[in-house]
Amino acid sequence: MSTDFRKSTVYQIYPKSFCDTNNDGLGDLRGVIEKLDYIKELGVDYIWLTPFFVSPQNDNGYDVEDYYNIDPRYGTMADVEELIAEGKKRGIGLMFDMVFNHVSTRHEWFRKAMDGDPYYKDFFFFRKGKGKDVPPTNWESKFGGNAWEYVEKFDEYYLHLFDVTQADLNWDNENVRKEIQKIVRFWMDKGVRGFRFDVVNLISKAAFEDDETGDGRKYYTDGPNIHKYLKELHDMTFGTDAEILTVGEMSSTSIENCYQYAGADTGELSMVFSFHHLKVDFMGNEKWVLVPADFGKLKKIIFEWQTKMAEHNAWNAVFWCNHDQPRVVSRFGDEGKYWKESAKMLATIIHCLRGTPYVYQGEEIGMTNTDFTEISRFKDVESLNHYQILQDKGLSASDALRIVQVHSRDNGRTPMQWNDSAYAGFTSADSEEPWIGVNSNYTKINAASQLEDPDSIFHYYQKLIALRKEVDVIAFGDIEPLAESHPSVFAYRRTYEGHELIVAANFYGRECCWKDAPDMSGFEKLTGNYHEETAPKNGEWTLKPYEAQVWYK
């Protein structure tokens, strides 16, 4: 295990969809233990587990009812302790997903608030409406509808930026912050080596006023006390152990704030997730539309974050996929003729960037979006809400379904495809059906077949992960964008202490020519997704469909 997070790679597991060992159709913690050798073979240093705490599962565990206990459908505390210990034996640290912007309305704190206990009411945002049936503000929940829920008993509303069963916590209350610090220390004492903090830049609310756009984001994103609260959390918990890895999920953040969130000397977090590069197939901020991905914008955003974070000695998490995103090979690659080439090309771009790469379960074998043709097969609360909202706006049911098929979070949540047996080996053939349908392409796309194939996507990811540990320029180097205006080429140069790396990738399924390619004399090819050598000749580089190459000097 690399204790320097710049040389590390993190593997994200969505336990519900990873491996089911008790045949109830839900993945579990024993399934993660069972697959540790597979994860070790990939070569990663940390496993990030999405929440498995006690929860009513209205938002797949991101609605936490009890931070100290394990939801029985996932296993027991003994399973967690065994997982931490077995991971440690293999040099893999466990990173837990902490949801501290909100709690489930079934959490003890909220139940006591609803009983009228003033101490616990101040753990949340209860506010009077502006009039009869008029909420305190016009803010919109991220899952659709107003962000305030009326409580008749108090003649007040409580704030929920997400689902109505996810009540926002009041971080301005010092007692809330102390409870959160206690939770983090509890898991550190259990041997947890990292924390991912869910939508953590929303914890400081600026004011409760109407927003002319209606979404309210400017009043709760990167709020006035956010850096103070993160520094305090750092100083009181994980900052006492220099080897603990932390990453903040930053919703609609600004790069200027991220210089502080993830600065080497700012005393907040190790690194940040930002999502601007994954909105290039949105219309503005609107996700629920169908528009082609804007490649020029994608390059501009990635390079801006790469170069500016470097200038401010701050660190990025770099990624394409997670449990909230569609599968990248379906999104920016090719599920068909160039499936393998495009999956490897997309991996090359991310893994040679400045930042810590994150691999989402199934990404390393090129898993694709769902093949669901009926809305009844989707489970995600956000997708189902927007399926209805789109129709309320006048779209036909079929058009609304097509948008959901492309953008639904369920695209990343279908069961991990382990082999070509029933249910893709996620669960046994005689078990209950999985909680969500298996993609029918599991007979072709599965881990077992790729482990046997030296040219597989899995083995390509394995090589990229190893290169980060072996080649210092990948882990520590500066970055210089190349081919910025080229309509097809994604390219950049990394430099560190006299070492140089050049990455060139064709983002599309047609051959292209890069005419002002750099001088490659003295370089050797480290890896690529085609076997033939096609280095530049006379300053021109011809790249095959979805070709990617990495050269080193």
Q: What is the pLDDT of residues 367-408, one digit of tens each?
A: 999 999 999 999 998 899 999 999 999 999 999 999 999 999
- What pTM did the predictor assign? 0.96
Q: What are 207-216's contacts with CB under 8 Å, separation 24+?
A: 208/125, 208/127, 208/136, 208/137, 209/137, 210/137, 210/138, 211/137, 211/138, 211/139, 214/138, 214/139, 214/140, 215/139, 215/140, 215/285, 216/137, 216/138, 216/139, 216/140, 216/147
Burial 219-237 (b: 16+ CB within 10 A, else e): bbbbbeebbebbbbbbebb
**pLDDT at position 1 over 80:** no
Q: What is the pLDDT of residues 61-95, one digit of tens each?
A: 999 999 999 999 999 999 999 999 999 999 999 99
| Mean pLDDT score across all residues of the chain | 96
pLDDT tens, residue by residue, 221-254:
999 999 999 999 999 999 999 999 999 999 999 9
Q: How many CB atoms lie within 10 A of CB 255?
A: 17
| Residue 430 pLDDT > 90 | no
What is the predicted pLDDT for the residue at 214? 78
Spell out the alpha helix ranges (H) of 393-494: 397-407, 447-452, 457-470, 472-476
User: What is the pLDDT at residue 60?
Assistant: 87
pLDDT of residue 2: 61
Give residues with Cβ within 8 angstroms of 402, minimum separation 6: 290
Q: Model confidence over 462-504: pLDDT tens digits? A: 999 999 999 999 999 999 999 999 999 999 999 999 999 999 9
CA 48 to chain centre: 10
Record the tokens describing residue 493, joined without a space. Answer: 């140069």
CA distance 427 to 28: 10
The pLDDT of residue 534 is 74
Selecting among 249, 334, 363, 547, the annotated active-site residue is: 249
- pLDDT of res. 532: 80
Q: How many CB atoms lie within 10 A of CB 3?
A: 12
What secondary structure letter does DSSP report for 164?
Answer: T
Mean pLDDT of 544-552: 97
CA distance 538 to 521: 11
198 part of the active site: yes
The pLDDT tens digits of the residues spanning 151-177 come to: 999 999 999 999 999 999 999 999 999
Tens digits of residue pLDDT in 173-228: 999 999 999 999 999 999 999 999 999 999 999 999 999 887 899 999 999 999 99
Q: Which residue reads 């930026």 in tokens?
A: 161
Catalytic residue among 20, 59, 65, 198: 198
Determine what percent of the chain falls in helix, strand and coil, rounding each to the nearest 5. Answer: 35, 20, 45
Proportion of the chain above pLDDT 90, given as a percent: 93
Residue 291, token pair as written in the block: 């528009």
* 244 vs 258: CA distance, rounded Å: 19
